[in-house]
Amino acid sequence: MQDRPLILGIHGLANKPPKEEKQAWWAAAIREGLRRNLGADRPELPFEFVYWADLRYDAPLSEDRNREPYYPVRGSGPFPSADGACAPTLTDRLYRVVEWMQEKTGRLVLDDFIIEHRLDDLWGYYEDRAFREAARDRLREALEQHAGRPLLIAAHSMGSLIAYDVLRRLERDGRCPRIEHLVTMGAPLGLAEIKHHLAEEHGGLRVPDAVARWSNLGDREDVATVGTTLAESYAPNAAGVGVTDCPVINGYRRPRGGVNPHKSYGYLRTPEFSRAVAAFLDGQGAVAPIEMAGVEDA
């Protein structure tokens, strides 16, 4: 069984439903995307989940308080794809000006506000060392458990930060496993303050050496993805592997109305993610690019 491919998911910000429920919903969203986008039925999806919300929250999110559950979308046919290159939006351009000013003054005022008030768990991740190390341990233990298996890591939101930290740390310790494909979704890794923290701990920003392919999926309306593209900020690794920034459309809608372009289920159902999963499961994960009509690598 150790040679079978495995998708390893790790969730992002905020409290979550119980682990078993959250894991089942991620798997259902991935299968829904494969079925709708590619006509591929994968009832026995090789998927496991890294859950860390219990390290920060006293009790899981209850059903009556969960405004954004997973549910299958009505209709048939593929979910929409982004059209065009991964060009910076007006928000990105404005943020880059602010980032330049923050660098000049040495004060990351905007980033502090975004992280503390919009991405609160990121603030806790850097302020609470015990929580930070415990969250990293969850992923480290999963990687050790599945050592030798072909792995695709699907990391959403803050999960992408945890994944990057763990892979760079294991690399430094000389015991990092090979990751066939790292897929980050709604990653805050372009924020100036996050990049500062990463550089302080790991040195130069680059693709971890263990990663054979890194695809970064981002909806341009997702506030967590504001700033530079990851290909601009993270250099290729020693093997020449760089980041491919993939614009996507996260179509998640709350059951009672309203959109959330940061929601994990929306990312997991995108055609771009479905193609990455299918290529990986078919043994092409390290070599097959995510095909996107009209989209150029950044």
Asked if pLDDT for residue 271 goes beyond 50, the answer is: yes
Q: Model-level pTM? A: 0.87
Mean pLDDT along residues 233-261? 94
Place of tokens 């995307």: 33
- How many whole angstroms separate alpha carbon 67 and alpha carbon 90? 30
Question: pLDDT of 111-150, one tens digit each?
Answer: 444 444 455 678 789 889 999 999 999 999 999 999 999 9
Average model confidence (pLDDT) across the chain: 85
What is the per-residue pLDDT across 173-209, written as a single tens digit (0 to 9) for each?
Answer: 988 789 999 999 999 998 888 898 899 999 999 999 9
Total residue length of the chain: 298
Token pair for 42:
């994968």
In terms of Cα–Cα distance, which of 236, 244, 192 is closest to 216? 244
Evaluate if residue 287 carries a pLDDT over 60. no
pLDDT (tens digit, 9 = 90+) per residue, 97-107? 454 454 544 44
Domain ranges within the chain, ordered by starting residue: 6-58+89-281
Q: What is the pLDDT of residue 86?
A: 52
Q: Give me the sheet containing 181-185, strands edge to edge.
A: 47-50, 6-10, 151-156, 181-185, 214-218, 243-247
* Residue 265: both structure tokens together: 């289920």
> In 3-state terms, what secondary structure has residue 144?
helix
Tokens of 248: 């996507």
Answer with the residue of higher pLDDT: 108 or 251.
251
- Residue 252's pLDDT band, with cuts at 50, 70 and 90, is very high
Distance CA 256, CA 259 (A): 10
Residues with Cβ < 8 Å from 293, sequence gap 6 or more? 81, 83
The fold for domain 6-58+89-281 equals Rossmann fold (3.40.50)
Residue pair 244/85 in contact (Cβ under 8 Å)? The answer is no
